[in-house]
Structure 1
Amino acid sequence: MRRSLLAPAVLAGALALAGCSGTDSDSGSGSGAGSGAGKADLSVGSPYMPEPVSADMAAGFLTITNKGAAGDELTSVTSDLGQVTMHSTAGGAMAEKSSFAIPAHGRLEFRSGGNHLMFEKLKHRPKQGQTVTVKLTFTESGPLTVEMPVKSATYNPSTGH
């Protein structure tokens, strides 16, 4: 008799647990799961600014890498140095952009001859060896602050000079 009572109790416990996990997975597969599991994971590499040749304008370059399962969007760049705008270059034509997409498991490159940051109305002219601080703002991720070293005006990252 003891065995016959134990089996229904075990079965009832298993069904109760199955019911709980079913409820959890149902609620987890809704909007809550996407926000936790599918996030961007952003990092910044290779930042630099060539020493400006003019007193009021400079360019900036960096790479944003996204190791996350969701994309994000760079919406603004700010600096105490002056006004910063984002530009794309295609077929030799430069155009100001209000944002740039950063795909999941992808990267966004700002490099010479391509997408770049444009610093205008400089408060001072940074010199080689100094650093410029920029703040990157994204649609989904928190802001990132980047220290951008000032390199020689002719610096080429592929050669390191």
Structure 2
Amino acid sequence: MKRRTAVLTAGALTGAVALTGCSASGAGPQRAELSVSASYMPQPVSADMAAGFLTITNKGGAGDELTSVSSDVAGQVTMHSTTGGAMTEKSSFAIPAHGRLVFRSGGNHLMFEGLKRAPKQGQKVTLRLGFAASGPLTVEMPVRATTYNPSTGH
């Protein structure tokens, strides 16, 4: 009787391992699938500083982090969060799996510091976004009117 129980238990374990192997290999690796939308820069009112806004969407099954932003139009681009009216510079922002990271006026935003030229309405500014796990993305950010509000389109 003991031998029969041991054989049945070993058979059950082998079946469980085989099923686990099948499900894992069929799922493929989990990774982020990033895209950018709704990017814009209001035409700067300052000669040396501008703000930028965009949305990064992650349709993948793994999260990632935005770790750097650069542009040839500025000496540096920094990332900021705004909470309760207080602005804080951040070194990275999480982008959850099946989620998004939103940079908007009054919230998370990009600051273009040390402008090398003054971007004008109708032009585009090129950004390079760096991530912890995914490859970099290049974004063409349109320059809008100083008072542009995406919710009204003006």
TM-score, length basis structure 2? 0.84
**Paired residue total:** 139
Superposition deviation, residue 115 in structure 1:
0.2
Q: Please say if 1:73 is aligned against 2:65.
A: yes
1:86-116 deviation digits (Å, cap 9, x = unpaired): 0000000000000000000100000000000
Instruction: Name structure 2 gaps, 5 residues minimum.
Output: 1-13
SS in 2 for 1:154: coil
Instruction: Name structure 1 gaps, 5 residues minimum.
Output: 1-17
1:63 to 24, 40, 55: 55
SS in 1 for 2:21: helix
> 1:7-156 alignment to 2 at 5 Å?
22=18, 25=21, 29=24, 36-82=28-74, 83-156=76-149
1:118-152 deviation digits (Å, cap 9, x = unpaired): 00000010000000000000011110000000000
Rounded Cα–Cα distance in structure 1 between residues aligned with 2:80 and 2:20: 46
Rg larger for: 1
Superposition deviation, residue 24 in structure 1:
9.6
Rounded Cα–Cα distance in structure 1 between residues aligned with 2:49 and 2:128: 18
Q: Which 4+ stretches in 1 moved above 3 angstroms?
A: 21-24
Structure with the higher fraction of residues in helix conformation:
1
Q: CA RMSD in A?
A: 2.3
State, as a whole percentage, how many aligned pairs show the same letter.
72
Structure with the higher fraction of residues in strand conformation:
2
Rounded Cα–Cα distance in structure 2 between residues aligned with 1:56 and 1:65: 30
